[in-house]
Structure 1
Amino acid sequence: MFSEISKFSAALTACVLAPSLAFAHTGVGHTVGFVNGFTHPVSGLDHILAMVLVGVVAWQLGGRALWLVPTTFISVMAVGGALGVMGILLPFVEAGIAFSVIILGAVVALGIRAPVAIAAGVVGLFAIFHGHAHGSEMPAVVGGVAYAAGFMLATAALHIAGIGLGLLVGKVSEQQGAIVIRSAGSIAALAGVCLLTGLI
């Protein structure tokens, strides 16, 4: 079982990172809407951390949170993306994204087990900011539907990576795994503070 999870995590990581390495600068060379959309979430540390943390939070809660929390994020993110594409202004987008990393990192670090509805509501709130950033930064030369499909698929992959990370670490050792996950949450929250203050 451990070997299968390791292989899955390695393959997923390769799939997520390969496009961002190949197309790190969207709009350069021959790109299409889907590729632009897919690379946007995986080309920024803020998006990567928040979306992986959503997966880890879902894993920590378990049960129906495993699908409900990530699905809520992706669904609400699509709404935020539409607002961004339409040019509807949303205040404090960058701050909202940074706070999503801080708060989700803290939730993981502290092992907070909120009710699933509250967890879904919190990630949904943050998803609006992430979606708006994706939508407002969509290149004018790409197709909106393909672009949206790209960033939604990349987001789902990052959520799955977070769930897979939780499963993988949890299988190694329940006690040590919890320490590793909580430490990772603390580091992510600190990174979020650095993002908010402009240090990174």
Structure 2
Amino acid sequence: MRPSAKSALFLIAACVLSTGASAHTGHGTHSLMEGLAHPFGADHLLAMLAVGVWSVSALPASKAWQGPATFLLALVFSAVLGASGFTVPYLEHAIALSVTLFGAMLVLASTPMPKAFGLTLIALAASLHGLAHGAETPETGFAGYAVGFLLTTAALHLGGVGLGLSIRRWLSERSTTVLASLGGLLSVAGLVLFNQV
């Protein structure tokens, strides 16, 4: 693993173990197992898979880890902000639209985009998810839950990476069309989630 990747993963682990914030008390945040299960909600799952697919489709191969790492870091830091009372209007609607945003990014994955711009969009979207979790911090703390949540998040990112690599390898001639179609479906899913909030 590259030194910069190790540094990013170490920072994520340090944030998780040092913070007292928590997320989504309504889903149960007092155990590792519940933390592992929580990210399988539709908005989280679709967003995290999309980050992995986009990262291997739009970033240079040696930089593909930066998309998931950016999401994880922004998620942790924004959860701390949410726990301290910071929020934004229409947060749940914005979270649903983040899925649509990731869909649009997949549609445009074959179009050159400045790396910093793409990673900024990922950080902003991840921050919305983190704010929602932090806003519901329980008094019991969340170390075990956070470890579980971040492990599942990382696993979903890896699943997206695997999907993206498979598309590039097995559907190379049609990869642009496949990614655009996948992105279109994701964008529609985000709008459906928006209408359900």
Structure 1 length-normalised TM:
0.76
List runs of 5+ in structure 2 lacking aligned partners: 1-25
Instruction: State the 1:144 CA deviation.
Output: 1.5
Distance 1:33 1:140 in 2: 14
Question: Could you say which residue in structure 1 is the equivalent of 2:53?
Answer: 56
Instruction: State the 1:121 CA deviation.
Output: 0.6
Instruction: State the 1:97 CA deviation.
Output: 1.1
Task: Find out whether 1:185 has 2:183 as its counterpart.
Answer: yes
Secondary structure of 1:90's aligned partner: coil
Instruction: State the 1:174 CA deviation.
Output: 0.5
2:32 to 31, 34, 40: 34
Question: Could you say which residue in structure 1 is the equivalent of 2:124?
Answer: 125
After superposition, the Cα gap between the structure-2 partners of 1:40 and 1:113, relative to the gap in structure 1 and judged at 3 Å, is: farther
Q: After the TM superposition, which of the residue ranges 99-108 and 33-42 deviates more from structure 2?
A: 33-42
After superposition, the Cα gap between the structure-2 partners of 1:138 and 1:150, relative to the gap in structure 1 and judged at 3 Å, is: farther
Instruction: State the 1:32 CA deviation.
Output: 4.3
Distance 2:66 2:147 in 1: 19
Q: After the TM superposition, which of the residue ranges 84-93 and 126-135 deviates more from structure 2?
A: 84-93
Distance 2:38 2:98 in 1: 17
Instruction: State the 1:180 CA deviation.
Output: 2.2
Question: Could you say which residue in structure 2 is the equivalent of 1:98?
Answer: 96
Question: Could you say which residue in structure 1 is the equivalent of 2:81?
Answer: 83
Note if contact 1:26-1:39 (Cα within 8 Å) is conserved in structure 2.
no
Note if contact 1:41-1:48 (Cα within 8 Å) is conserved in structure 2.
yes
Distance 1:131 1:157 in 2: 17
Distance 2:84 2:36 in 1: 20
Distance 1:88 1:82 in 2: 9
Distance 1:48 1:59 in 2: 17
CA-based RMSD of the aligned residues comes to 2.1
After superposition, the Cα gap between the structure-2 partners of 1:36 and 1:47, relative to the gap in structure 1 and judged at 3 Å, is: same
The superposition leaves residues 126-156 of structure 1 with CA deviations (integer Å, 9 ceiling, x where unpaired) of 1111112223345554x42222222111111
Distance 2:63 2:187 in 1: 21
Q: After the TM superposition, which of the residue ranges 119-128 and 171-180 deviates more from structure 2?
A: 171-180
> Partner letter of residue 35 of structure 1?
M
Note if contact 2:30-2:142 (Cα within 8 Å) is conserved in structure 1.
no
Count how many residue pairs are aligned between Structure 1 and Structure 2.
170
Distance 2:89 2:35 in 1: 22
List runs of 5+ in structure 1 lacking aligned partners: 1-24
Instruction: State the 1:67 CA deviation.
Output: 1.2
Question: Could you say which residue in structure 2 is the equivalent of 1:45?
Answer: 42
Note if contact 1:40-1:134 (Cα within 8 Å) is conserved in structure 2.
no
Identity %: 37
